[in-house]
Amino acid sequence: MSLERSFASFASNQISQATAIKLIEIIERDNVLQNAVAMGQYLRRGIEKMKEDHPEIGDIRQIGLHLGVEFVRDPETKEPLIEKTMAIRRKGLENGVIFGLSSVRKNVLKIKPPLIINRREADEVLGVLAKCIKKVICH
């Protein structure tokens, strides 16, 4: 491509740049990243507690506030519980919580709440997850 030809992109759009700067200011002012770390740890502890009563919960995977909860038939063989994982996801939707589905085998629920989630909302997510696990796995 010749430099004599003109081309454009949105990379130098002043409105986008000003918006990005303001967003960074708000993230810093409201301690959004610290909240994400704290709530990620809180959610993980809650899921680990559930795992004590439900050996069907396999690995708990996490990067920040993005969690993955693996469901297995047997903790030793790690045989996936695909149908039950999908049923837990459906029950979550019925109860107002959107769980994603991940893994090649479709046996990992994804929990990806907003960065501004608070403790009450995290408790609600944990409560719905516990209720769904109980309904699907224990019955």
Residue 41 in contact with residue 48, Cβ under 8 Å? no
**Percentage of the chain modeled with pLDDT above 90:** 83
Q: What is the CA radius of gyration of the chain?
A: 20
pLDDT in tens, 81-107: 999 999 999 999 999 999 999 878 899
Q: What is the pTM of this model?
A: 0.85
Sorted by sequence, the CB contacts under 8 Å of residue 133 that are 6+ apart come out as 50, 54, 56, 57, 88
Q: 9-32 in b/e burial notation, b at 16+ Cβ within 10 A?
A: eeeeeeeeeeeeeeeeeeeeeeee
Third-level CATH fold of 14-137: Aspartate Aminotransferase, domain 1 (3.90.1150)
What is the tens place of the pLDDT at every residue in 57-66? 999 999 999 9
Residue with tokens 């999908």: 86
User: Which residue ranges make up each domain of the chain?
Assistant: 14-137
